[in-house]
Amino acid sequence: MDLTELIARGRPRFRTATAFVEAILREAILTGALPGGTPLRQEELAASFAVSRMPVREALRQLEAQALVDFAPHKGAVVTDISAADGADHYAIRAALEPAALRLSLPHLTAADFERAEGLLAEMDAEPDQSRLGELNRRFHLTLYARAGRPRLLALVEQHLAAADRYLRFHFAALGRDRMAQDEHAAILAAARAGDADEATRVLRTHIETAARDLERFFASRTD
């Protein structure tokens, strides 16, 4: 288990030990540093974080509610496994939520927002580090939804965008970065800029559903 790097920096950035542990663990799970199925022993984690078992326990509880770990009474916590079915589940949620968020947000997007989104696309084209692409992709999407004025909806979208990051590496493995759908991103941005909500949400939904199908195909070919 290689959490030491993540732990080393940024300890005092957090108000409470629980928040600290929770943030680092979530990061580790979403980036794949802690793969699905990894058992999370409380004492071991507590030693790594140099805290007692209690903040670890509370952090694990919160991660459980976010569906990032599975909790079994007296058995312990395990990093939620990724699977074809789970991936399809996440993408189905994204396909439902994100077009709705975009539709609400679009009328209130400013020129500066579009500039920022376009900048993020350019960054993605130039970014060599695969692990940072997920965050850029997330920020691009969230920029377009940011003006929806629905905090809960946005929190849900952000959560499932982050969860989808766990599957992003499979897209790379299967298709390479060329297929990272930059053209689709550009099409979404263009339609949004033109104020065409129907077209923008349609392209966005297709974008997400295409990614879901790619993922499904990858898993299907892998089980052979």
Partner DNA sequence: TGATTGTCGATTGGATCCAATTTTATTAAG
Partner DNA sequence: CTTAATAAAATTGGATCCAATCGACAATCA
Contacted by 89, from DNA, a second copy, none: CB < 5 to 8 Å by type: a second copy
Chosen residue from 33, 78, 92, 186 binding a second copy by CB under 8 A: 92
Is 47 among the residues that bind DNA (CB under 7 A)? Answer: no
Contacted by 169, from a second copy, DNA, none: CB < 5 to 8 Å by type: none
Question: How far apart, in whole angstroms, are the C-alpha atoms of residue 19 and residue 42?
Answer: 16
Contacted by 109, from DNA, a second copy, none: CB < 5 to 8 Å by type: none
Q: What is the 3-state secondary structure (H, E, C) of 144-167?
A: HHHHHCCHHHHHHHHHHHHHHHHH
Nearest to 141 by CA among 111, 92, 193, 101: 101
Is 76 among the residues that bind DNA (CB under 7 A)? Answer: yes
Chosen residue from 70, 86, 127, 209 binding a second copy by CB under 8 A: 86
Considering only residues 139 to 158 of the shown chain, the ones binding a second copy according to CB under 8 A are 150-153, 155-156
Chosen residue from 42, 66, 182, 210 binding DNA by CB under 7 A: 42
Smallest distance, a second copy to C-beta of residue 60, A: 9
**Which residue spans within the chain are E strands per DSSP?**
39-40, 69-72, 76-79
Is 78 among the residues that bind a second copy (CB under 8 A)? Answer: no
Nearest to 167 by CA among 107, 109, 84, 61: 84
Buried b (16+ CB within 10 A) or exposed e, 183-215: ebbebbbebbbeeebeebbebbbebbeebbebb
Residues that bind a second copy (CB under 8 A): 15-16, 18-19, 54, 57-58, 61-62, 64-67, 73, 86, 88-90, 92-93, 95-97, 99-101, 104, 150-153, 155-156
